[in-house]
Every structure is written in structure tokens, then in C-alpha cells.
Amino acid sequence: MPDEEQISLFDWQEPQAVSTPVTVDPEQISSNAQTPIPTGFYETLDQLTTHCQQCQRCDLAPTRNHVVVSRGNPQASILIIGEGPGQQEDETGLPFVGRAGQLLDKILASVKLDSQKDVYICNIVKCRPPGNRTPTSEESAACKPYLLEQIRLVNPKIILLTGATAVRGITGDKRGITKIRGQWLTWDNYLCMPILHPAYLLRNPSPAPGKPKWLMWQDIQAVRAKLDEILSQ
């Protein structure tokens, strides 16, 4: 695709309303972060969502307005993992709905991927860290069992890790995102690609070759090509 098809940065749309989850007994799982959530514990994403909305497994719970679980298609071929909710996500209960989320949607649309049909979007942590700081290792660890269950239930063809926190939280790789972005990795039999976080592109909007926006353009085209290859097999 020609570079002139790159996307506008700042268009805005109102987020969709938070859906009402089904009822699941919160006593089925401990609020203590030291108590593990076993693989296969949840039969459905609705059950997982209900437990997340009642979760008290870390110190982020008392300061949240909403637990931010996911948006998109639970049967999607691509699963996208971000860092954590910001203010608008905390207010709406949906991930990636602020400026960075709107940019993410446009990045996907640039290669004909629909953010409601073709992807499932979630985060390393499901509650907003105060001041939008990076989640602590304890907060990430408390929330990780939910994320692993989301990955298992969605079972995507490709996982996109947006930013260094997502890469570290899933793979344990502590290298900077600029060193590993655009590389295909295998984690737990899933094909993964680290990509730059859309918020980073908002701070560096130049489309010049070698700049972050240009690099994202190369990466998302590679993701589209790989998905087409997988689906054609």
C-alpha cells in the first residue's frame, strides 16, 4: 500500500456503552492475589468479565471507576494487548477509546482490519493506575491470570503486544520496544509481534521514513500479510 494511505491522527468518535455482564458467584475465586486462577477456570468470557468487575486482587481496585476488560470480537483472529486503562477508559469501561485508541482503530483500518470484527483488545492490567503510571510488577502479576484466560478463550492466530509493558508482561522480555518492534516472536505457541504503542505515535507524528509512524506502517502491513497467509492455509 502506498505511504499516502497512512492515517489521520486525531479524529474522535464516542465510545460504545459498557455491556452488562452475566451473574457469577464471586466466592468462586479468592480476592487474594497470591491465590492462583487455574488455567481453564472460566468456561466463557462473560464469566471472566463478571469476576474482573468484582476483583480486589491488587491495590488498583479501590481507585477505579470501572474495570476495563475488553472490546472487540471474542472470536477474532488478532488479539491486541496494551498496558492499562487511562482516564477515558476508566470512565467508559472500554480499552483503547481515547486518542491512542482512536489512532489504533485507524491503523487497523488502514489495512482493512475492523476494530469490532477482526480484533479483540485488552490490557496487561484492567484497572487504571493512578496518574496513568506504568503498572507495578505486583499489579501486573495479580491481573495476569485473567489475561491468560482471555488469550486461551479467544485463541487468536496473532497477538500484538503494544509497547514495552505488554511485551514484558507476557513474554518477560525486558528489551526496549524500539529494539524488538516488528519482529515475530513465539510465546506459548502463539505468534506475537511487538509494536509501538499508539500513544507514542501521537507524541511522534512525523510520517518520514524511519520515524515511529512510518515504522508502524511497515509493521501493520506485515501483520496483515501474515494473517492473510495463515487464513489461506
Q: What is the pLDDT of residue 92?
A: 97
Which of residues 78 and 8 earns the better pLDDT score? 78
Q: How far apart are CA 100 and CA 1, in angstroms?
A: 23
Which of residues 38 and 82 earns the better pLDDT score? 82
Please choose, from the candidates 86, 83, 66, the residue with its C-alpha nearest in 3D space to the C-alpha of residue 163.
Answer: 83
Of the listed ranges 4-18, 35-49, 93-107, 158-172, the least confidently predicted one is 4-18
The owner of cell 480486589 is: 56
- C-beta atoms surrounding 228 within 10 Å: 10
The residue ranges of every structural domain in the chain are 20-232
pTM: 0.88
Q: What is the pLDDT of residue 91?
A: 97
Helix (H, G, I), strand (E, B) or coil at 126: coil
Task: Judge contact between 68 and 125, C-beta under 8 A.
Answer: no
Third-level CATH fold of 20-232 = Uracil-DNA Glycosylase, subunit E (3.40.470)
**For the chain, percent of residues with pLDDT exceeding 90:** 83
Q: What is the pLDDT of residue 12?
A: 41
